[in-house]
Structure 1
Amino acid sequence: MTMNLESFLTALEQEVASYHTPIVDLIAVQTRDPFKVLVATILSARTKDETTAGASHRLFKEAPDIHALAGLSEERIRKLIQPVGFFNNKAKYLYRLPDALKPYADKVPDEIDELLKLPGVGRKTANLVLSVAFDKSAICVDTHVHRIMNIWGFVNTKSPEATEKTLRKILPVKYWKKLNSILVAFGQKRCKPVGPQCDCCLFEQDCPKNGVTPRRVKSNNTDTIKFISWNVNG
């Protein structure tokens, strides 16, 4: 590998500037309200950005704050957020959220240990809320961050949680808050989990492609290698 982590991220930040804006950046542009950031982030898990944006808009139109959300039934929440991924579970989480926030005076807490006590909140969501809503230095590791950091060999981990722990030791603090948006944009556009576009990637010559599965395919009667998928530690 010829690029260190900081050089890679500096170049990558410039590369993704013209890419589709990930939902995390759309949330940050539209609001810093901790309640809305939390809810939109819960909705975004395993869901396309466009679907998340639509569901958030419908829900916030009826429930712009925690008090309005408390007035909605679980069934109403479910109808408003469909078709986000796992909408049944997410409706349950959001229905329980008002009660869960009562110990915090109906406010979203700004400490990770307290955020993790809320329904539907894991480390990725908690760190994103800390970063976007409270402007705290936090590393939000989702599947894109976990995958790309392993492909490049900056970490050798089997879970997003382990990746976050390692990145806390090696990642310059100036990249903590923006790492997720950079790598999500890159992961959605180029470094995809299935069908990564290695042949047209700016970093193809430097990337070690750890865990990226090659397949020999026929093209104009000649064999060529095409990278088709990624499997951590594969």
Structure 2
Amino acid sequence: MPTITVYGNDLSPPARAVRMVAESVGVDVDLKRTYPLRGECKKPEYLKMNPMHQIPTINDGGFFLSDSHAIATYLVDKYAKNDSLYPKDVLKRSIVHERLFFDVSLYTKVLNFVIGPLLLKKEPTDESRNSLVDGLETAERFLTASKFIAGDSLTIADYCLYCSITFVDFPQKGQIDLSKYKSIQRWIDLLQKTSPLVKKYDQFAEKGLKIFLEDGKY
């Protein structure tokens, strides 16, 4: 079984999404826990791998790649036995791309709502709350129209957006009531019931949250 090195940590939604995709296509992961808030992504050796100084980054036999969405598509293209997670059909793949690009903006909204207030020990601002609600309402519309986030079958977009959306409820439980978004809640329940990977990486997130709350590692 092939093995890649992933630089990330247990709490980071993009890093967890990459690990979920890797495992789903039969790739072992050697996780090198990396914490941006500790300045670890700005060390010279890390910047050589990823000039954008973010997580996750992968090393696949000397090939370095960053950005969770780029990594996810690469892993499926290289290692998956079929194209179910990332369809080759142009129309279906375009919808997956649309949802992945949406995840970029949604994850930024989630971070602004969750991490800043935790670090500053303040309540989220009305601006960050309204921005996140707008993103969730968009996700709700996507999921009202289809069983999964990019159609009627599971794709890499589900793993990415699941990690982003449920991150709202890890550090800031109750600040946003996800249950009022009926289609999002149905989708979350579906993934939690049908995907062992989702349960497994939810547990990693809880472990990562504990570390973050104890010493601020993220």
Fold match (TM-score > 0.5): no
The normalised TM-score by structure 2 is: 0.28
| Larger CA Rg, structure 1 vs 2 | 1
The normalised TM-score by structure 1 is: 0.27
Higher helix share: 2
